[in-house]
Amino acid sequence: MTIEQQLQQRGGDRCELCGGGGEQLQLHAVAPRAADSADHCALLCAHCQAELDGPQDHNHWRCLNDSMWSPVPAVQVLAWRTLKKLSGEVWARDLLDMLYLEPEVQQWAEDGLAAEEDDSEPTFDSNGTRLQAGDAVTLIKDLEVKGAGFTAKRGTLVKNISLTNNPEHIEGKVNGVQIVLVAKFLKKA
């Protein structure tokens, strides 16, 4: 039996992340592992496959509420990585907080995410410390928030930041509002 046939049997001919069927299902090797075993792969629909690199359809990923509990380590790794990328969303952070992975599966998930993040230019705070998604930062000066009608005060703690495509900016919540902040006005908490 081929790896793809094993995956189709394991997933019941459905996407192992969203549960969708009927679409063209594709074998996806979960990095940094090779597609040499069904244990290192997942069967994904075209939509999930396209969204893995940079989730755009955030509501689609609410399906991870179910798939993150899969007994299949490769599916758990993909769910954890996707939730980590969506950590700017409250519901995704809540799911990530609930998700428990065995230590070796957690290491697999982190290794692959680190390899993906190494391709991008790093983001540094005002002291030259590298910032990562999920870090907490403190504002080092008062910042007027355009369009929101308030000023973010110096010393304000911003938890669970998200990195952006621009290494000079991060995203975080201040006063319950998701805003973009300039990294040079922040220090890692």
- Give the Cα separation of 11 and 86 in Å (integer): 24
Q: What is the pLDDT of residue 117?
A: 54
**Do 79 and 137 belong to one domain?**
no
- Residue of 123, 153, 118 whose CA lies nearest to 139: 153
The answer, yes or no, to whether residue 131 has pLDDT greater than 60, is yes
Name residues whose C-beta falls within 8 Å of residue 43's C-beta, 6 or more positions apart in sequence.
4, 7, 8, 10, 11, 14, 15, 16, 25, 26, 27, 28
Q: What is the pLDDT of residue 185?
A: 94
Here the tokens at position 23 are 């679409």
**Do 107 and 27 belong to one domain?**
yes
**Do 133 and 96 belong to one domain?**
no
**Do 64 and 129 belong to one domain?**
no
Q: What is the pLDDT of residue 68?
A: 94
Q: How far is CA 183 from the centre of its chain?
A: 20
**Do 82 and 135 belong to one domain?**
no
Q: What is the pLDDT of residue 22?
A: 63
**Do 128 and 183 belong to one domain?**
yes
The answer, yes or no, to whether residue 37 has pLDDT greater than 90, is no
**Do 111 and 127 belong to one domain?**
no
**Do 71 and 155 belong to one domain?**
no
Share of the chain above pLDDT 70, in %: 95
Q: What is the pLDDT of residue 142?
A: 93
Domain membership of residue 159 as a residue range: 123-188
Helix, strand or coil, per DSSP, at residue 62: helix
Q: What is the pLDDT of residue 95?
A: 94
Q: What is the pLDDT of residue 53?
A: 74
Q: Quick one: pLDDT band at residue 100, thresholds 50, 70, 90?
A: very high
Domain end, chosen from 117, 136, 168, is at 117
- Residue of 84, 107, 108, 103 whose CA lies nearest to 95: 84
Q: What is the CATH number of the domain that holds 174?
A: 2.30.30.40
Domain end, chosen from 92, 117, 142, is at 117
**Do 90 and 51 belong to one domain?**
yes
The arithmetic mean of pLDDT across residues 91-113, rounded, is: 91
Average the pLDDT over each of 37-51, 65-79, 104-118, 157-171 and give the range with the smallest value.
104-118
Mean pLDDT, rounded, of the chain: 88
Q: Which residue has the higher pLDDT, 139 or 54?
A: 139
Helix, strand or coil, per DSSP, at residue 129: coil
The answer, yes or no, to whether residue 43 has pLDDT greater than 70, is yes
Q: What is the pLDDT of residue 1?
A: 83
Domain end, chosen from 117, 136, 167, is at 117
**Do 89 and 165 belong to one domain?**
no
**Do 139 and 112 belong to one domain?**
no
Chain segment 143-186, per-residue pLDDT in tens: 988 878 899 999 999 998 988 888 899 999 998 888 989 999 99
The arithmetic mean of pLDDT across residues 4-22, rounded, is: 88
| pTM for the predicted model, two decimal places | 0.62
Number of domains into which the chain is organized = 2
